[in-house]
Every structure is written in C-alpha cells, then in structure tokens.
C-alpha cells in the first residue's frame, strides 16, 4: 500500500509582506567600528568571497586569530561585523573578484569614519602597517542607499557593489572612474556634549510636537529605534508633546541624552537584546551579550533567514496549491470519462441480444424490447430507424470498442495523475508542518523542499545549482525525540530526510512508522539487537507519526508500523514515496505527540 495518500482542503494563503528590520544606525556603527579597531587592526586580507548580490566576506588574519568580516549593502540589513564562515559554494560574482585582485594579501591598517556623524566607514589597506594606504574600501551603511565602494589612493572609484548612474541619482552618482564623493551633508544640528541644557531644551522645544518626531527632526544621528530607546529610558511617551513636559522630565531626558553622547565619545558600549530588537547602550536590555559583533551578526542573520523562510514558504505553498488544483481537475475529468466507459459492456450485450433476435426486428422501429439472456427480464434497446438490425448491432459493437479503448487509455493516465497528487500532497504536508521559523535548520529544510521540486520539474530556477554542491553542514536533519524508556525516535521533516531515514539510517532492528493512507513524516524507532520495545514506546512513536502528518488536528489517527526491510521504493517513484507490507496498526493521538520533549538535531 502507498504510505502517503489523502486529500486536504484548500487553505487561503495571504500575500507575503516583508517586516521592517531595525537598521544599523550611527550609534551601532560607531560601536561596531570601535570594536573592530580594537581587535582587528592590523590584519592581513587573505580571502574574499561573495555570498550573494548583497553580501561579501573578507577573510582576515592577525597574529592571534582568523575570522571573516561580513560587509552587507542589503537595503534592509546593511551592516559590517565579524561573522561565521560563508558557505563553500562557488563564487561567481565580479565584484568579489575585483576586490580579491586589488586587495589580496594587503594589510587592513585603518577603520575610520569618513566624516563626523556619517554612516560610512573607510577601510584602508596598505602593503604593511605604518605605510600609506593604497586602497580605500568605503562601507556605506545608509538603508536602501547602502553600498560598498573601492577607491584607489587618489580616491578614484575602481569598482562598486552597486553602480549608480546619473539617471538614477543626479545628486551622487557612483560610477567606475569617477572621484569618490562624500554623501550630501545633513542640515540638522549636530549633537555635542558641550551644548548646555538651556540651549538644548530651547532647540528641542522650539516647535511643539511629539517628542519622537521633534528629536529626530532637530538633531542628526538619531534613528527611530534609538529615539524610542532614549524616551523609554527617560520614562516618557514617544507621542508626548514637548509642551507637556515638566522640569523633571526635561532633566531626565537630558541626562540620558548626555549618556548617549558620552558613550559615543568614550566608545563605551553595552550590547544586549531588547524585547523587539537590540541595543548597544544598555537601555531596555533584557539580556547582555559579550560583544557587538556577535549581537549584530546574530540579529540580522536570524531576521534575514526568517524573512527568507516566510517568503519561500509562501511561494512554495502558492505554487503547490496551483499545481494541485489543476491536477485535481484533470483527475475529475479522467474519472468522469472512466465512469462513462464502464457502460462499454452494456453496448456489447445489446448488440449480442439484437443479433440473436434478428427475426423480431421490423423496418422503421425506434426501439425493440427483448428478454435478457441471463435474467430473461425485458431489455429495451434504442434503434436507428434508418438502419437495419445488423447495422444497429454493428454500431453497438463499434461503440463498445471505442469505450473499451478509451478505458484502456484513460486508466493509466488517471493512475499517474493520482500518484502525482499523492506525491505533492506529501510535499505539502511537510510544508504545513514547517509553520513557523525557529532556527536556521527550518530554512535548510525548506530549501531542500524547493530543490526537490526543482529537480522534479515543478519549479523553474535558472540559478539552481546541483544539490551535490550543497555543503553537508548546511543540510537539514530530522527531529530527534526520546520515548519514556529512553529510546531514540527520529522524525523526517521533508522527503530527503524521509528517504534518508528509511533507506540509509534504519537498521535491521528498528521499527518504521507512518500514518495510514495519510501524508506525513517517516518515523523511525531506534532499537538495539535483541531489544523489544514496550507498548508505551510504540505508542510514543505512533503519536509522533500522527502529529507530524496531515491528520495533526484529528482526535485519533491510524498509524502503521513495520520493519524497515519491509518498506520499499517502487521503481521510478518520487522522493518520499514508499510501499510496505507486514504492517501492524496502532491508534495514535496527535495531541500527545505535541507534548513530547523539544526536538533537536541528530
């Protein structure tokens, strides 16, 4: 029997919208630069690798350590920070090749802001420490205008991550061969520690309005996240009007204002997590971290992966719904035509009956009633009055042959369509189980589902690379649970994992579980030689199989289990599709599978 067959009602999928990320503002960039200068100057540039069209990695080495410096000009997540090693897939980008050619084996000797209160850092490279800089790598962290620009010692642009033509921007085009120019200066007032309280209060309160808007319009260097954090630390509402502040409110706000400027001046920062993002000033912090680099890297890596997860899941779900809808219509048409062909034998019987009773036929008859051969019950046969009895019988024989040929042609087509529906429902079940992003493993699992659909030619991706090029450390892993008696249970999260568990991981003494005739995960109960599982262990594995299936919302689900040696993959079967024999059945409760230990990677 096929181990994954069921239909599932269509679910409305809302359009995907990308959430806004907390940007790297001037304060965060200052903290990043200070930490990089303290730990990574000077450093030798050994490698350059571009991961995608928004991210490049610089491999740095000092006398004590090696690491990758990530530079990103992503419109929502522009940043630079020390990060983990990039994937080992081929680098085919021109920008990284130009950086490697010009900067390879040079020394990173300086990381400095290009101007006060500008979100641009100048990474300077020389032959060796103490010598003049030969190259300037400008990292512009400016939201959707972010960029990374390489200029020579004469400040002439050699290459840029994103070329900006004069048609795109008449204010500041960025083109190879042009001189590098600073971003247009801001007109807002510059915050300073020396500004007295009275002058500061006068500026902020000059035009009455909400505190959040007034602060950001009056002074440069204040992002939305920093302003909210500042007002929260001062125990003030962002929408509170400047005219409603008491003297104590003003003093409290000015005190935290001074704390902010003092941290920038002394480069003393307190990185940590907040309820809805991160901070480098310690305000509203719920958890501290050791360094700014790990904070920035973790926040944006997780946020971008979550965005990619939600977007990819939406795309795959929409695509599967479209394909399945078409296949179900096709299956209905085939089924209707097959049911019509079921009357083929009736036409042959009528022809035989007519041929055996030719003497009862009379010219001009439109119907004739004759006794059935077996039951002798009267059978009324419609006739064409323009044809004689033999010609009418021949017409019936011909119609019988036509319907018989149609049945022989349609039956295998219907079988193929149903098999295709069953396979895609299995894929859809795996996506339904991946309902929320919790860790990088979830995105890897979804990526493998996309790659599988590309390999099966349900999706087209001109940039798709062979799955054999995917590093093993980026492949997803099945869930792992423990039964009440301490036995290990593995649960596949997609078809690649299902096939891996069933045909490679499974041992001779293990037990294989699957929901009966319902799409779901392959579940493996690991057993040692001679071990006989208790009923509670079998029930635990069955509950997990029911929970990780399309029947998750049911009260009870029929789950089969058998030895892995009795599970087969039919010739030419798609990933995850199996047949089995010698199965036994358990009634499982999906809700009990949900209450197991938090799953982890194998």
Instruction: Tell whether 363 is covered by a domain.
Output: no
Which secondary structure element, helix H or strand E, spans residue 316, and what is its range?
helix 292-341
Instruction: Tell whether 181 is covered by a domain.
Output: yes
Domain of 163, CATH number, reads 2.30.310.10
- Which sign, positive or negative, has the C-alpha torsion 398, 403, 407, 413? positive
Profile the chain (602 residues) by mean pLDDT over runs of 10 residues: 36 51 95 97 96 96 96 96 92 95 97 94 96 97 95 96 89 92 86 95 92 94 94 95 95 97 96 95 94 96 93 94 96 86 77 88 89 87 90 86 81 91 93 90 93 92 46 74 95 95 95 95 95 94 95 94 95 92 95 63 42
Where among 156, 185, 214 does a domain terminate?
185
Task: State both tokens at 549.
Answer: 């299936």
Do 212 and 283 lie in a common domain?
yes
Domain of 256, CATH number, reads 1.10.8
Where among 121, 152, 185 does a domain terminate?
185
CA 316, CA 295: separation in Å to the nearest integer?
31
How many domains does the structure of the chain reveal? 3
Closest C-alpha among 132, 131, 137, 173 to residue 155:
137
| Residue ranges making up the domain that contains 205 | 197-288
Inter-residue contact 70 to 81 (CB < 8 Å): yes
Do 501 and 551 lie in a common domain?
yes
Helix, strand, coil percent values for the chain (each to nearest 5)? 40, 20, 40
Inter-residue contact 73 to 140 (CB < 8 Å): yes
Instruction: Tell whether 508 is covered by a domain.
Output: yes
Instruction: Tell whether 323 is covered by a domain.
Output: no
Do 173 and 202 lie in a common domain?
no
Is the whole-model pTM more than 0.85?
Answer: no
Strand order in 488-491's β-sheet?
Answer: 584-588, 557-562, 511-515, 523-525, 488-491, 479-482, 600-601
Instruction: Tell whether 326 is covered by a domain.
Output: no
pLDDT in tens, 273-326: 999 999 999 999 999 999 999 999 999 999 999 999 999 999 999 999 999 999
For the CA atoms of 374, 376, 382, 385, the dihedral, rounded to the nearest 10 degrees, stands at: 110
pLDDT in tens, 115-172: 999 999 999 999 999 999 999 999 999 999 999 999 999 999 999 999 999 888 888 9
Instruction: Tell whether 438 is covered by a domain.
Output: no
């Amino acid at each position: 029997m096929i181990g994954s067959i069921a239909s599932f009602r269509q679910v409305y999928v809302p359009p995907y919208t990308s959430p806004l990320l907390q940007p790297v503002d001037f304060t965060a960039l200052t903290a990043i630069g200070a930490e990089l200068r303290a730990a990574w100057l000077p450093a030798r540039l050994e490698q350059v690798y571009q991961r995608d069209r928004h991210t490049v990695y610089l491999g740095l080495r000092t006398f004590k350590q090696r690491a990758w410096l990530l530079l990103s000009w992503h419109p929502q997540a522009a940043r630079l920070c020390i990060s983990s090693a990039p994937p080992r897939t081929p680098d085919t980008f021109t920008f990284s090749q130009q950086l490697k050619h010009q900067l390879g084996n040079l020394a990173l000797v300086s990381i400095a802001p290009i101007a006060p209160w500008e979100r641009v850092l100048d990474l300077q490279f020389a032959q060796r420490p103490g010598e003049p800089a030969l190259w300037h790598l400008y990292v512009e962290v400016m939201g959707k205008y972010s960029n990374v620009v390489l200029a020579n010692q004469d400040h002439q642009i050699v290459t840029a991550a994103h070329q900006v033509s004069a048609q795109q921007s008449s204010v500041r085009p960025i083109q190879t061969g042009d001189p590098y120019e600073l971003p247009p200066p801001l007109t807002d007032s510059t915050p300073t520690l020396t500004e007295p309280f009275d002058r500061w209060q006068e500026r902020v309160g000059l035009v009455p309005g909400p505190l959040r808007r007034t602060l950001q319009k009056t002074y440069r260097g204040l992002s939305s996240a920093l302003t909210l954090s500042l007002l929260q630390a001062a125990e003030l509402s962002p929408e509170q009007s400047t005219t409603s502040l008491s003297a104590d409110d003003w003093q409290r706000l000015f005190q935290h204002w001074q704390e902010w400027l003092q941290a920038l001046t002394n480069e003393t920062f307190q990185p940590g997590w907040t309820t809805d993002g991160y901070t480098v000033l310690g305000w509203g912090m719920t958890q501290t971290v050791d360094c700014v680099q790990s904070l920035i890297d973790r926040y944006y890596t997780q946020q971008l992966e979550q965005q990619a997860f939600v977007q990819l899941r939406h795309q795959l779900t929409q695509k599967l719904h479209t394909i399945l809808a078409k296949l179900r219509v096709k299956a209905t048409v085939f089924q209707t035509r097959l049911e019509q062909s079921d009357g083929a034998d009736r036409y042959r019987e009528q022809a035989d009956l007519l041929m055996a009773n030719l003497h009862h036929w009379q010219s001009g008859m439109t119907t004739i009633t004759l006794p059935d051969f077996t039951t002798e019950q009267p059978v009324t046969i419609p006739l064409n009055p323009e044809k004689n009895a033999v010609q009418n019988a021949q017409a019936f024989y011909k119609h019988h042959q036509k319907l018989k040929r149609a049945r022989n042609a349609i039956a295998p087509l219907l079988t193929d369509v149903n098999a295709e529906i069953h396979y895609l429902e299995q894929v859809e079940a795996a996506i339904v189980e991946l309902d929320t992003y919790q860790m990088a493993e979830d995105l890897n699992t979804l990526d493998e589902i996309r790659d599988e659909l590309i390999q099966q030619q349900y999706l087209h991706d001109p940039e798709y690379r062979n799955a054999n090029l995917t590093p093993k450390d980026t492949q997803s892993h099945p869930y792992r649970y423990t039964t009440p008696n301490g036995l290990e249970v593995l649960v596949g999260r997609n078809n690649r994992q299902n096939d891996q568990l069933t045909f490679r991981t499974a041992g001779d003494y293990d037990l294989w579980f699957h929901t009966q005739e319902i799409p779901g995960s392959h579940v493996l109960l690991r057993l040692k030689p001679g071990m006989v599982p208790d009923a509670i262990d079998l029930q635990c594995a069955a509950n997990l199989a029911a929970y990780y299936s399309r029947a998750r919302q049911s009260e009870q689900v029929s789950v089969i289990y058998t030895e892995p040696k009795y599970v087969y993959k039919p010739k030419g079967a798609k990933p995850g599709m199996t047949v089995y024999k010698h199965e036994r059945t358990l009634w499982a409760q999906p809700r009990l599978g949900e209450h197991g230990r938090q799953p982890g990677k194998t």
